[in-house]
Structure 1
Amino acid sequence: MALRDRLRRLVQKPGSVDLAPFRAIVDEAGRREDRVRALTDAGLTAEAAALRERDDPAGLCAAGREAARRALGERPYDVQLVGTLALLSGHVAEMATGEGKTLAGALAAAGHALRGRRVHVLSVNDYLARRDAGWMGPLYELLGVSVGWVGQASTPAERRAAYRADVTYAPVSEVGFDLLRDRLATAPGDLVLPEPSVALVDEADSVLVDEAMVPLVLAGAAGDDEADPRYAGLVRRLRPGLHYDTDDEARNVQLTPAGAREVERALGVDLYAAEHLGVLTAVNLALHAEVLLHRDVDYIVRDGAVKLISEARGRVALLQRWPDGLQAAVEAKEALAASPSGEILDSVTVQELIGRYPVRCGMTGTAMAVAGQLTEFYSLEIAVVPPNRPCVRADEPDRLYATSADKEVAIVEEITAAHAAGRPVLVGTGDVAESERLGRRLARAGLGHVVLNAKNDAAEAAIIAEAGGPGAITVSTQMAGRGTDIRLGGGPATAVAGDPPGTSPADAGTTARELVAAAGGLLVIGTGRYHSSRLDDQLRGRSGRQGDPGGSVFFTSLQDDLVTRYAPGERSDAAAGADGRVEDRGAHWIVGHAQRVAEGVDLELHRNTWRYNHLIGLQRRDVLAERDAVLRGDRGDRVMAEDVPGRHAELTAVAGAEAVAEAARQVVLYELDRHWAEHLAYLADLREGIHLRSLGRGLDPLIEFNRDAVPAGKRLLADARASAAAAFGGLTATAGGIDLDAAGLKRPSATWTYLVHDNPFGSLDERTLRGLISLFKPARRPR
């Protein structure tokens, strides 16, 4: 036994879960397969129903495998069942692209449901939630498990019905928005979201790490936050170096003395006078929008609106916007109408949302790179599930060039050679602008191609379906979370491992597949390293699915944004070849060093943001506990009877106890919600300003934040109760009831939800943390 354990540790990835117990269960399921296959459909459903009474993972695997075979035409591989068992055990299953995560996740969701738990399968967008719920529907039906899905356009009634199902597919943002709306409900019947039980997260690393601290916001109407177009026109005329300077990372910009004088001359104001603080803020926002935010890199303009681009996915970040002032400044820059803005009524981060679920699990193709964060923030371990067939993809070493121009020439040459050989090529670029620039180069070279980016992501499925065809050239921004596979030879894509039902070697697509395989399979080209090695691996993993031949290579340069931003002090004196290529090991080390620094800074930012949000979460928990007692019970009525007994008695004598109890509920709920919204605004201002105080005195910003935030949180409930008592004391009653409108308890006339995109320049604490770059000193560069 000891020898076997030592051997297992040698071949198992460090830090990953031992798969041996799962494999033993799968073996047992295999021994039951013939018996289960002999059952009728009704008998199979009854077999699954019996699992509600006993914990039998082998029985689940056997029944689930047979149900998938009958309902979907797919017999899950053993490794898919291993992934299912990992999810049932509360782990993150790392499964390569094309290995059938969708089916493994569905079987796990059914297993959790058969254990009596309500399961939310959280995806990254509406499309995947709707697709997977419909795709896996026949499987769930055969196992006797109900399924529903929620999308952005779902009505409250449709949401309630979907959440009543055993398994509900939904974008993580929609679940968060439903939670926020429920927190403002004024009657128990208005609630939509049930108590959390199991969260099964698709693309777990993207959701749980990349988007962990993205706030989901519920806002109330307060008019448009328009930016004066004069400021946009003014900063457009300013000259870099003379009127403003940017930092080495191009993440901050500030007026020079000459710039300040030019602005003051144009506006006719003393820019730094206290009474003109608003003008100074507006000018700075306009300057940030003009200089640091770039169209087709940070955002696109579509349908007369600014659409933000997700850095992690290279697609439009649905429902996301920057903080109101910056959003308005970008809209003014582009001469667009201002979008609505208003008071934030409540917010929740993705990390806080997921943390509500007692049971958490997930699946992705790249988890081990963030295993530490998944353990630190979610107490999740990784189960690395091997592929069904060994990966034979050939991953070449990076090709490094001295300049970006040399790199782009080499990329086009590589694509041209692969295309001439009939080999399909997938090119992963960093942003929309780069994808279109490369597209223009390919067009000049006479190469037919398709560009997939945030501007045409609606056509994604059709583009991906043909990306594996002979000689196809597809240029795409980030491939993470696209939910579809690239099949050699082209054809409809699917996320389930194995060929679709009805295919055979004689099918028409076989010839094309053989041609592509003979040419070497899909070639993946990266136009530069991403800020995270996970994103590199996600792009690389699009080739070599299910043992297919394939290859990958990344082209980098010493002028790439990754290098200039995260290793600005590193220089290489190595000579470049005639084509600009650099072979020096030390130069290659610089690129890897820059990526490691970027990953380290991102982790520290995550930790730092979590420390602030943890306190806010604790304060929110106390408020919500009080609110729930008022909403669902008689606490509001009892509190008002204690605080204003005379008025309570008078109102009861006139309007009756029931009407008074309802009035007390509405008054207390209103004041709790109002005080919480004001508290959130106070904390936001406190966090942004605390650094001006702490940095000047050499104090810890977090300690200084807590010094003010903790007492304010402790006063909140008492202040809300006092306000409620005052408002209740002013109520008037008639025999017909109590007039709440006269008391001024007016909630916002409209509410809406959105995600606050990370401020691209960061709050002051984040800007301070960027000093970490200088702390990531190189150990010793290879020569």
Structure 2
Amino acid sequence: MVSLGGIARKIFGSSNDRRIKATRSRVEAINALESEMQGLSDEALKARTDEFRQQLADGASVDDLLVPAFATVREAAKRVLGLRPFDVQLVGGMVLHGGNIAEMRTGEGKTLVATLPVYLNALEGKGVHVVTVNDYLARRDSEWMGRVYKFLGLTTGVIVHGMTDDQRRAAYAADVTYATNNELGFDYLRDNMKYERAQMVQRGHNYAIVDEVDSILVDEARTPLIISGPLEDRSEMYNTVDAFILKLEPADYEIDEKQRTATFTEEGTEKLENLLREAGHLKGESLYDVENVAIVHHVNNALKAHRLFQRDKDYIVRNGEIVIIDEFTGRMMPGRRYSEGLHQALEAKEHVQIQPENQTLASVTFQNYFRMYKKLAGMTGTASTEAEEFGNIYGLEVTEVPTNLPVIRQDEDDEVYRTVEEKYRAIVREIREANSKGQPTLVGTTSIEKSEQLAERLRKDGFHDFEVLNARHHEREAAIVAQAGKPGAITIATNMAGRGTDIQLGGNADMRIAEELGDMPAGPEREAKEKAIREDVARLKEKALAAGGLYVLATERHESRRIDNQLRGRSGRQGDPGRSKFFLSLQDDLMRIFGSERMDGMLQKLGLKEDEAIIHPWINKALEKAQKKVEARNFDIRKNLLKFDDVQNDQRKVVFEQRLELMDGENLSETIAEMREGVIEELVTKHIPENAYSEQWDAVGLKEGVRQFLNLDLPIEDWVKEEGIAEEDIRERITERANATAAERAERFGPEVMAYVERSVILQTLDHLWREHLVNLDHLRSVVGFRGYAQRDPLQEYKGEGFELFQAMLGNLRQAVTAQLMRVELVREAAEAPPPEAPTTFGQHIDATTGEDDFGDVAVAVMQDSRVVAPEERDPQRPETWGKVGRNEACPCGSGKKYKHCHGAFA
């Protein structure tokens, strides 16, 4: 029986079909302008940019300019790049301009598609960000597509790791800026640690197009960016605990691979307690006594490091360092570190040098960062499976853009073997058969370890001419991918997500020319050689086409359907033939976790012989269901992370907006006065309860509070004894004396110095308290989950207590700022010290990258340790040369005072 929805789709088409149909009239209008555009000179075509800008200034909207602007870019791309966007690429551009996700198959030219909406939106002059998954693609695309923008009179910038603030500022000031998601997020956090507007690098969040949007907004959305600074060294404890884990047996712990958790059994806990007691590390009787919280953290991390994290799959050891492997792309992530002590536990496990732990200084999730953009769009080959998440979290609609030519790739049913050994034998047979007829083969694996095992196996079976593409060889990535379509080529690749380079049948002519001709000067000889290479590539393409196109042979199913679809999508680009097939065994992770034991018993009963495979569409459906379960669980993790982060995000926005107001404020004396009055109000309310008799007033406590926070010695005990005195009178007297003292101080220092001092004190105090607040929120987050056992909603508890902590932080801010500003000597010394720039203590912690949480879900950016500089290398006139200065050291400026009483007065 056909459903009503099915009937409606047949008559009216699906919602996706209707969205595509709605773009048809504008595509025809753009095509109608093509002959007019062709007739324009280069200068006249470039002049259209100024015409469009004038129209916008006269009140037109960017939507009004879509048709002529797209026609202009199409003609410019044809002249500059030799590429003419197809009609379906115009459709993709319209989807992106509308602030949605364009799902376009591999090879359909997403990089070129982005130029259309990027140019149109850049005309407003507010900046457009194009977000890529790595620095290589940011550089490549900015240079490649930047030629089109330059031709049309727009400027292009690129942000990559290792750039200075001045370089970043210039790149953000350009009309179009290419950058990775990490660099954008970290620049946002770093900007909110600066002390002057002029030091900030970003200029707002107007419009962003996210390339490989599923990878960035879904896969990496479980990993908040965190800027952090080092804590004290505890490497000895990690080594001690690591040695204890080696003494445990399987009965001492329980592992849940599905949830990625490791817990101790009662026997294991008892054994650990004895070991820790003997080593003198256990306080009290039980491991779970409150004073042993840190020890519990260490032993849990050590167990995870040994039982949940595998070398060469989750990380590799290179040059004495633990380098994380991205589970989605298979790439190394140098500089990234797991947080909460897990990375240190792995360093202890592998016996490499243990780096210090870190404290959070600032953090943001990708969800909350990218939701700041006024308009957000994305493009990828695989977004449909996550359409619900894109809609719920980002308000983005996924539109499948038709391919320019029909896809004729054959996607064959999976072959399932009983054992891994049988599966690999079948894979080698299949590779041999494809290779013998000259068919290029891309072999997909899920980890470095498996790719290298397969490579070793192929060598033993007589194969020598093949490439291995994984994190160990990422430097050659583009070159390997570019030539993977040559006839008979065999390429073993780990997770082909977001490689950004097409596999072209016959090979990539441009890459070959760049590689083989190198720096050969232009001239007849080079032209002849270029022609010969292009002819050779065309001949090889015909040969590869005759052999059936690219064969994608996958050795395992990934837990996400998208990753499988990305691998499949490498074949059959631009109407080329191709085929794909997955080879599985009941011992594969996904099969094993989702109950392959029952199936194994059933297959044995059915008499499945060795080296025989079971092939049936039902198997594919069952696997898809298992993958959907994993995807749903991962979505829940991200949704939950976001709900908790939204609490912090609301507070973050308040603090960051407050910082901007403080930086922009010419005169903060009003703000400071309000803070001072707030402190006085709190002191009086605390020590003079409402409706209490004067005998019940705490005059001594109030006097002490006034001395502590206002640096005033007032005769409050005498005031209290006066007949008929009211609480209001005492408040007014304290306020009057405090305001008079502050005014006298301001007059003595002069308005400029006072304004600088006030801004410095309030910003640095706010930052210090915000960091402490982040630590408190982390601690609250780690314990609030247990409230569920008491039938209380952990999220509501977190919201309520998080708000109370935030209110307390604001109270502490008022008190700390008032107390510092009322102590004139400290402020004056610092104000007179050269030079008046942002405190260097923060600048030393800004080289940040990301890593992941010990639950495998949350990333942390670890900062380089503060530089330790020898006293003789410090220039007294240049604080940036001082490095880390101890609080009690003599100040390097030569004043003779301790650092904490001189340049470190505000730190």
In the superposition, the TM-score normalised over structure 1's length comes to 0.90
What is residue 629 of structure 1 aligned with on the other side?
A: 661
DSSP 3-state at the match of 2:535? coil
What is residue 390 of structure 1 aligned with on the other side?
A: 406
- C-alpha distance in 2 between matches for 1:674 and 1:557: 54
What is residue 524 of structure 1 aligned with on the other side?
A: 552
What is residue 377 of structure 1 aligned with on the other side?
A: 393
What is residue 691 of structure 1 aligned with on the other side?
A: 785
- C-alpha distance in 2 between matches for 1:290 and 1:175: 34
Q: Quote the offset at 1:635 in angstroms.
A: 6.2
- C-alpha distance in 2 between matches for 1:12 and 1:507: 44
The structure-2 alpha-carbon separation of the partners of 1:503 and 1:350, relative to structure 1 and needing over 3 Å to count, comes to farther
Q: Indicate conservation of the 8 Å contact 1:220/1:749, yes or no.
A: no
Residues 1:19 and 2:36 are matched in the alignment: no
Residues 1:405 and 2:421 are matched in the alignment: yes
- C-alpha distance in 1 between matches for 2:471 and 2:435: 25
Residues 1:233 and 2:231 are matched in the alignment: no
Q: Indicate conservation of the 8 Å contact 1:654/1:733, yes or no.
A: no
What is residue 582 of structure 1 aligned with on the other side?
A: 614
* Aligned pairs for 1:141-152 within 5 A: 141-152=150-161
* Correspondent of 1:557 among 565, 568, 585: 585
Residues 1:675 and 2:703 are matched in the alignment: no
Q: Quote the offset at 1:233 in angstroms.
A: 2.7
1:477-536 per-residue CA deviation (whole Å, 9 max, x = no partner) reads 111111000011122578xxxxxx987997121111111111101000111211111111
* Aligned pairs for 1:168-187 within 5 A: 168-187=177-196
Residues 1:245 and 2:254 are matched in the alignment: yes
What is residue 143 of structure 2 aligned with on the other side?
A: 134
Residues 1:754 and 2:754 are matched in the alignment: no
DSSP 3-state at the match of 1:397? coil
The structure-2 alpha-carbon separation of the partners of 1:737 and 1:659, relative to structure 1 and needing over 3 Å to count, comes to farther
Segments of 5+ residues of structure 1 without an aligned counterpart are: 495-500, 764-783
Q: Quote the offset at 1:21 in angstroms.
A: 3.2
Residues 1:547 and 2:575 are matched in the alignment: yes
Q: Quote the offset at 1:696 in angstroms.
A: 2.6
Q: Quote the offset at 1:746 in angstroms.
A: 8.7
Q: Indicate conservation of the 8 Å contact 1:651/1:732, yes or no.
A: no
Residues 1:306 and 2:400 are matched in the alignment: no
- C-alpha distance in 2 between matches for 1:363 and 1:740: 52
DSSP 3-state at the match of 1:104? helix
The structure-2 alpha-carbon separation of the partners of 1:503 and 1:353, relative to structure 1 and needing over 3 Å to count, comes to farther
Q: Indicate conservation of the 8 Å contact 2:313/2:447, yes or no.
A: yes
- C-alpha distance in 2 between matches for 1:577 and 1:734: 84
Which 10-residue stretch deviates more, 669-678 or 261-270? 261-270
Q: Quote the offset at 1:13 in angstroms.
A: 5.2
How many residue pairs get aligned? The number is: 748
Q: Indicate conservation of the 8 Å contact 1:133/1:149, yes or no.
A: yes
* Correspondent of 1:212 among 214, 217, 221: 221
1:585-635 per-residue CA deviation (whole Å, 9 max, x = no partner) reads 665554222111101111111111111111111111111222111111146
Q: Quote the offset at 1:570 in angstroms.
A: 6.1
DSSP 3-state at the match of 2:854? coil
Identity among equivalent pairs (%): 37
Q: One-letter code of the match for 1:343?
A: Q
DSSP 3-state at the match of 2:23? helix
Q: Quote the offset at 1:639 in angstroms.
A: 2.2
Q: One-letter code of the match for 1:308?
A: I
DSSP 3-state at the match of 1:555? strand
Q: One-letter code of the match for 2:496?
A: M
* Aligned pairs for 1:102-117 within 5 A: 102-117=111-126
Q: Indicate conservation of the 8 Å contact 2:509/2:537, yes or no.
A: no
- C-alpha distance in 1 between matches for 2:78 and 2:651: 49
Q: One-letter code of the match for 2:850?
A: L
The structure-2 alpha-carbon separation of the partners of 1:631 and 1:568, relative to structure 1 and needing over 3 Å to count, comes to farther
What is residue 540 of structure 2 aligned with on the other side?
A: 512
What is residue 812 of structure 2 aligned with on the other side?
A: 719
- C-alpha distance in 2 between matches for 1:142 and 1:758: 45
Q: Quote the offset at 1:50 in angstroms.
A: 1.6
Q: One-letter code of the match for 1:687?
A: R
What is residue 196 of structure 1 aligned with on the other side?
A: 205
Q: Indicate conservation of the 8 Å contact 1:558/1:591, yes or no.
A: no
DSSP 3-state at the match of 1:738? helix
What is residue 468 of structure 1 aligned with on the other side?
A: 485
Q: Indicate conservation of the 8 Å contact 1:220/1:750, yes or no.
A: no
DSSP 3-state at the match of 2:849? strand
Q: Indicate conservation of the 8 Å contact 1:17/1:381, yes or no.
A: no
Q: Indicate conservation of the 8 Å contact 2:409/2:572, yes or no.
A: yes
The structure-2 alpha-carbon separation of the partners of 1:58 and 1:586, relative to structure 1 and needing over 3 Å to count, comes to closer
Q: One-letter code of the match for 1:170?
A: A
Q: Indicate conservation of the 8 Å contact 2:441/2:490, yes or no.
A: yes
What is residue 76 of structure 2 aligned with on the other side?
A: 67
Which 10-residue stretch deviates more, 74-83 or 354-363? 74-83
1:666-692 per-residue CA deviation (whole Å, 9 max, x = no partner) reads 111112111111111111111111122
- C-alpha distance in 2 between matches for 1:761 and 1:8: 42
* Aligned pairs for 1:610-629 within 5 A: 610-629=642-661
Q: Quote the offset at 1:154 in angstroms.
A: 1.2
- C-alpha distance in 2 between matches for 1:70 and 1:104: 16
Q: One-letter code of the match for 1:605?
A: I
Q: One-letter code of the match for 1:565?
A: I
Q: One-letter code of the match for 1:69?
A: K
- C-alpha distance in 1 between matches for 2:625 and 2:405: 33
- C-alpha distance in 1 between matches for 2:459 and 2:757: 69
Q: Indicate conservation of the 8 Å contact 2:469/2:493, yes or no.
A: yes
1:96-153 per-residue CA deviation (whole Å, 9 max, x = no partner) reads 1111100111222111112444101011111111110001121001111111101002
What is residue 565 of structure 2 aligned with on the other side?
A: 537
What is residue 278 of structure 1 aligned with on the other side?
A: 294
* Correspondent of 2:446 among 430, 447, 453: 430
- C-alpha distance in 2 between matches for 1:16 and 1:116: 34
Q: Quote the offset at 1:385 in angstroms.
A: 1.2
What is residue 609 of structure 1 aligned with on the other side?
A: 641
- C-alpha distance in 2 between matches for 1:581 and 1:734: 79
The structure-2 alpha-carbon separation of the partners of 1:616 and 1:736, relative to structure 1 and needing over 3 Å to count, comes to closer
